Structure 1
Amino acid sequence: MKAEIIAVGTEILLGEIVNTNAQLAAQALAQVGIVSQYQTVVGDNPTRLTDAIAIAEGRSDLLILIGGLGPTPDDLTKQTLAEHLAVKLVEDQDALAKLQQWQQQMDRKMPANNLAQALYLAGGQPLKNRVGLAVGCYYKTADHSYFILPGPPREFGPMLAEAVTPLLPEIAGSPQKIVSKMARFYGLGESFLATQLADIITQQQNPTIATYLKGFEIGVRVTAQAASTELAEAAIEPVMQQIVARLAPYFVGYGEDRRLPDEVVTLLKQAKLTVTAAESLTAGLFQADLASVAGASTVFAGGFVTYANDIKAKVLGIPANVISEHGVVSREVAQEMAERSRQLIGSDFGLGFTGVAGPDQLEGQAVGTTYIALARPQQFTIVQEYHFAGARNEIRQRAALAGFKLLYDELNKN
């Protein structure tokens, strides 16, 4: 079987975004032996998209169309394919209900064009969008199969993994089941990871191993094919255990769509513990990431953003001599921030963040120098020194994640 991937979006043609979705789609196809010989990018134009579809039908059995499912006038992928196939569009009731719920949460009237996101090809199979609002679709004719998928990577990835990949073996005519498992790591580079896993990657056949950058984390996905799901999972497990054992200091959990903040909130809930923070360098980024996790209010009551030195003294009560003697970018100030925030909030854990995000040095300290402290009940406070690379906001994001990793490791000691 041959497949063609058609990415729809003028922004891709203009070089404004990178077409990472096509890479993931091609990898998913390869896993089941479907050959992807062509990849096309076409702008948001129904005539040119119709031409691209017709050309693809002449040389491929399976067409995967990515993008153009949103509510704006140039989002016409479903409409164009439906017209090309002479098929009507119908509403998916679950997607419509999700749109209406979104409208209520936003407390605003929903524009009529938003309803287009709930449409799919009549006679096809709607594909649930767990992350966003636009429903996808799988449609089959006597000669071709079609997938219509959303363009935003955060929506495309889950739909590909959860709705498309399970259908591919049947489309390919393969009786085998395909199962994947993702392990995530933080605090190491791709080259180091590749070196550590070089022999496993070189010898791979079934299961196969692939690595992915997931923000500032690195994901390692192990995929196996077998006659049953149970046999595939059994094939994955020893390989995954070997990978995690080699990279244990950097391991931050399993799951395609989880993040380090998700893991920390889960562990805090399980242990019935709470956390707070005082942030200078990160200016509330750690607490914002923490609060982005559903249910975080049960483990996080509040915290502090103490950017200026006088606020550190007024709000946290850090003695002026500590800052004057050691500097604001120091182990001592990070420790004071962590301990005093924990005491003021009454949390089990307190974190303190201070450092130099750039673009210039501070107090003779190089850009990227960071101190993160973790105050714990009835134990000495941990203080770690880091030297992060990157632009200003990359340093801040790395620092916030390093704080999560510090807490993650502490919670896993119990």
Structure 2
Amino acid sequence: MKAEIMAVGTELLLGDIVNTNAQYLAKELALLGIGIYRQTTVGDNEERLKTALLQALQDTDIVITTGGLGPTPDDITKEVSAQVLHQELVLHEPSYEVIKAYFRNNDRAMNGGNQKQALFPKNAIILDNPNGTAPGCIIPGEGGKYIINLPGPPKEMVPMFENRVKPFLRQFTDGTIISRVLRCVGLGEWDMANRVKDIIDASDNPTVAPYAKEGESILRITARAKTEAEAQAMIEPVEAEIRSRIGDYIYGTDDDTLEEVLGRMLVEAKRSIAIAESVTGGMIASRILSYEGGMSEVLGEALVTYSNESKVRYLGVNPETLARYGAVSEETCREMARGLREKTGAQVCLVTTGIAGPTGGSEEKPVGLVYIGINLDGEILVLKKYFTGGREKIRVRATISALDQLRRALLGTLPLSTIHDTK
């Protein structure tokens, strides 16, 4: 069985809104064992939408649309779907009553367009929407074809798919596709792929594919089987072999983020942390605070000590150290890490200093030079790093590296009281 995912909305076509619905649906359909034939984006134009739906029904068995179910004149998905499948629109009384109750029987709101949200193709299966005013529907067509209309807002679309559409689709599947994503940091895509090249080349089912994104590399293991349990069993030995070769460069799986993994480590160990940033200018604190699992319990202070004066005032860096070695130096970074602990009493301290550019570099200290300092219970590690790219990219890469180095230090895989020079 093949499916097409069709996003409807001029705002999507113009890039004003990111289409996260397509990504979600593609993953979910793959897990059901339904092949994704194509993803399409269509603006709010009746003829173009009609043409797209007709072509999709010719090429696939199921078309899943998102968007265009609202009360305004440019919300036309349901109407065009009905035309394509030669069905008239009729009022669905239960939906009409729910919408009326939502607007507290306001005739002006209903006559202004909200009533149309209760109109559906005659043979449609109605999908209630407890998270919004626009119900969805499953419309059967000739030859076992279906158009499934879902609302555009993800907070409405996702629960509707999970609770109503997914159970409906299971009747058409006799297998499943399961993927496991291994997320690596500190290892380039070419290096990661080279370490498992024979596995990538030899694997047919499961397949292993490398990908790259900003600051990290990804290996996706995908297995096809009759049941989810069988697919998971096929993935496990492949994952174990990959982990034996890549080790702690793998920081997480599937939807994990580096800051979530690090946040969990700190919160579960009840380790207090303080951060002082120069070159990264608050990026580390922002990333780590995105972890929602209790960072307020462990993060006491996060400082941006960008100037020399702030390093002296808030971290106790010796002015003579700054004068002799400069703000971007191992010596200054070490004093920042020591001073942050002395000032805050935090068990874990993370600091950065460096040159992001575009100016300020020299032959001895080029743009992209960054020092990362970690203080764990009084033991200090300073790492010397070089990053390439523009100013923003250097700051982002330095942030990712700092988070990862702290993760490794907490795991005990980095020796303390030393300096590492890494290009």
1:54 match: 54
Alpha carbons of structure 1 residues 235 and 335: separation in structure 2 relative to 1, 3 Å:
same
Q: Distance in 2 between matches of 1:199 and 1:161?
A: 38
Q: Distance in 2 between matches of 1:345 and 1:337?
A: 12
Residues 6 and 66, structure 1, Cα contact 8 Å, conserved in 2: yes
Q: CA deviation at 1:292?
A: 1.4
Q: Does 1:370 align with 2:370?
A: yes
The question of whether the paired residues in 1 share the 8 Å contact of 2:151 and 2:157 is answered with no
Mapped to 1, the partners of 2:310 and 2:208 lie a distance apart of 49
Q: Which runs of 5 or more structure 1 residues have no equivalent in the other structure? A: 98-112
Counterpart of 2:2? 2
In structure 2, how many angstroms separate the alpha carbons of the residues matched to 1:216 and 1:54? 42
Residue 146 of structure 2 is matched in structure 1 by: 145
Q: Please say which of residues 287-296 and 158-167 is displaced more in the overlay.
A: 158-167
- What is aligned with 1:272? 270
Q: TM-score with structure 1 length normalisation?
A: 0.76
Stretch deviating more after TM superposition (54-63 or 285-294): 54-63
Contact preservation (8 Å) 1:128, 1:163: no
Q: Structure 1's 22 and 315: CA in aligned 2 closer, same or farther, altered over 3 A?
A: same
| In 1: Cα distance, 2:6 partner to 2:224 partner | 26
Question: Which amino acid letter does the alignment assign opposite residue 63 of structure 2?
Answer: L
Identity of aligned residues (%): 36
**How far did residue 212 of structure 1 move?**
4.0
Secondary structure class of the residue paired with 2:237: helix
Matched residues in 1 for 2:73 and 2:219: separation?
38
Distance 1:407 1:72, change over 3 A: farther
Task: Describe the SS at the equivalent of 2:276.
Answer: strand
Cα 1:390–1:35 shift into 2, 3 Å:
same
- Aligned-partner SS, 2:322: helix
Q: Indicate if the aligned counterparts of 2:357 and 2:391 stay in contact, CA closer than 8 A.
A: yes
Deviation at 1:194, TM superposition (A): 2.4
**Structure 1 vs Structure 2 CA RMSD:** 4.3
Tell me the residue number matched to 1:384. Answer: 383
> What SS is found at the alignment partner of 1:188?
coil
Q: Which residue of 1 aligns with 2:235?
A: 236
Q: Are the equivalent residues in 1 in contact too, given 2:30–2:176 (CA < 8 A)?
A: no
Alpha carbons 2:81, 2:147 under 8 Å: kept: no
- CA 1:216/1:55 → structure 2, altered by over 3 Å: closer, same or farther? same
Equivalent residues in 2 for 1:393-408, closer than 5 Å: 393-408=392-407
Aligned residue for 2:421?
A: none
Selected match of 2:261 from 257, 260, 263: 263
Query: Which whole-Å CA distance do the structure 2 matches of 1:248 and 1:376 have between them?
Result: 23
Q: What is the CA distance between 1:128 and its match in structure 2?
A: 10
Q: Which residue of 2 aligns with 1:43?
A: 43
1:276/1:301 contact within 8 Å kept: yes
CA distance in 2, matches of 1:187, 1:4: 37
1:103 is matched with which residue?
none
Cα contact 2:135–2:151 (8 A) shared by 1: yes
Q: Which residue of 1 aligns with 2:322?
A: 323
Q: CA deviation at 1:343?
A: 2.0
Distance 1:70 1:307, change over 3 A: farther
Contact 1:169 1:175 in 2 (8 A): no
- For each residue in 1:179-233, what CA deviation from the matched residue of structure 2 results, as whole angstroms up to 9, or x when unmatched? 3322211122222222222221222222223344455333322222333332222
* 1:81-127 Cα distance to aligned partner (Å, 9 max, x none): 57876376859x9xxx9xxxxxxxxxxxxxxx9x99x9998734579
State the Cα distance separating 1:155 from its structure 2 match: 8.3
Radius of gyration: which is bigger? 2
SS of 2:395 mapped into structure 1: helix
Is 2:122 the counterpart of 1:123? no
TM (norm. structure 2) is: 0.75
Cα pair distance change 1:368/1:156, threshold 3 Å: farther
Instruction: Call closer, same or farther: CA 1:36–1:269 in 2, change over 3 Å.
Output: closer
Q: Which moved more, 1:221-230 or 1:285-294?
A: 221-230
Q: Give, in angstroms, the shift of residue 43 of structure 1.
A: 2.0
Alignment of 1:297 with 2:293, yes or no, is no
Alpha carbons of structure 1 residues 248 and 58: separation in structure 2 relative to 1, 3 Å: same
Matched, 1:347 2:346: yes
Tell me how far 1:383 sits from its aligned partner. Answer: 0.8
SS across alignment from 1:301:
strand
1:277 touches 1:342 (CA, 8 Å); kept in 2?
no
Shift in CA distance, 310/16, structure 1 to aligned 2, threshold 3 Å: same
Distance in 2 (alpha carbons) for counterparts of 1:276 and 1:282 = 15
Specify the SS of the correspondent of 1:354.
strand
Distance 1:387 1:170, change over 3 A: same
Q: Which residue of 1 aligns with 2:174?
A: 175
Identify if the C-alpha distance between structure 1 residues 360 and 301 changes in structure 2 by more than 3 Å, giving closer, same or farther. Answer: same
Post-superposition CA distance 1:258-292 (Å, at most 9, x none): 21110011111221111111100011110111111
